[in-house]
Amino acid sequence: MIVVTGAAGFIASCLVTRLNAANFNDIVVVDNFAVERKLANLKGKHLREYVDRTEFFDWLDTHHEQVEFIFHLGARTDTTEQDRAVLDLLNLNYSKQMWQACCRYQLPLVYASSAATYGSGTLGYSDQDDALLPLYRPLNPYGDSKNDFDNWAINQLEKPFFWAGLKFFNVYGPNEYHKGRMASVILHAFEQIQKTGSMTLFRSHNPDYTDGGQMRDFVYVKDVVEVCYFLMRQRQHSGLYNLGTGEARTFLDLALNTFAALGRTADIQFRDTPEDIRDKYQYFTQADMSKLRSIGYNQPFIALEEGISDYVRNYLVPGAYL
């Protein structure tokens, strides 16, 4: 059996599809299944059992001998969440409990970290030096919760025999439909263009960047799940790994490619970045992917143009799920 937490969510549900495609069908999905808007992400998938996240550790105590691998992708992912008690409960303490269970039962673990741990990026975006972890200053409590767990994990004397923490950069793709404000800019662009024929981006408040010239490392969810699958099969070289493409692209690139995928003439407007997030706004992120490449992951990452075209034409327009 393979356990996937956060399984009704965006990345985890796409991972379940990838596992099914490889004939892994004994999948135990863990989540808060009372959130009905996410349940469509699991429709039609081959699953063994649904386990509520509050009951999972009792379930694992009983069934651990049958479990082969754990993907812990469940988290409170709202980057605007200010309630640190919620973030400590779901992102820090639950993850500690998962780590300790994997140590106790000698289970391999891949868990979701985040590029939000890097903060403004003043120390770069390299995953090579764990000594930098205590020096990172995330820009929001969500990033703090992820960095707190990375720091805790690195300093544990007892570790799972294989583990990997994945620092997701800006992931986009099918099955993010339930995420609302936290969905990718591509989904928001698609919805705006379909409704109004135009797209609005944040104006730059940094003289080093033009309006729409702010840059992110946008990574397609299909690449993300390929990396997860690779790590499950390899089970060597534990550690923290970036998961982006290694190439930053502008928001203007993103918007223009969304218009192109829809066959529409580009009409892009700009508005001021809201003041409540302006001082925490990242103008540039780009993953250093050399560490993942060094352990044998050699598949090319999907270019933004190709990823947006696939997402828009094969999923957003027909309203399809992965």
Active-site positions read 142, 179
Q: Is 281 annotated as a binding residue?
A: yes
Q: Is 31 annotated as a binding residue?
A: yes
The length of the chain in residues reads: 322
b/e for 90-125, b at 16 or more Cβ within 10 A?
bbbebbeebbebbbeeebbbbbbbbbbbbbbeeeeb
Q: Is 75 annotated as a binding residue?
A: yes
* Measured CA distances, 245 to 123, 184, 218, 301 (Å): 19, 16, 7, 6
Q: Is 170 annotated as a binding residue?
A: yes
Q: Is 114 annotated as a binding residue?
A: no
Interior angle at CA 129, CA 128 and CA 135, nearest 5: 135
Q: Is 113 annotated as a binding residue?
A: no
Q: Is 204 annotated as a binding residue?
A: yes
Q: Is 37 annotated as a binding residue?
A: no
Residue 275 to residue 295: CA distance in whole angstroms: 42
Q: Is 291 annotated as a binding residue?
A: no
Q: Is 313 annotated as a binding residue?
A: no
Q: Is 295 annotated as a binding residue?
A: no
Residue 177 to residue 10: CA distance in whole angstroms: 8
Which tokens is 84 given?
Answer: 């640190």
Q: Is 38 annotated as a binding residue?
A: yes
Residue 228 to residue 213: CA distance in whole angstroms: 31
CB atoms within 10 A of CB 34: 8
Residue 185 to residue 307: CA distance in whole angstroms: 13
Which residues are documented as binding site for substrate? Answer: 170, 181, 188, 202-205, 216, 281
Which residues are documented as binding site for NADP(+)? Answer: 10-11, 31-32, 38, 53, 73-77, 146, 171, 179
Which residues are documented as binding site? Answer: 10-11, 31-32, 38, 53, 73-77, 146, 170-171, 179, 181, 188, 202-205, 216, 281
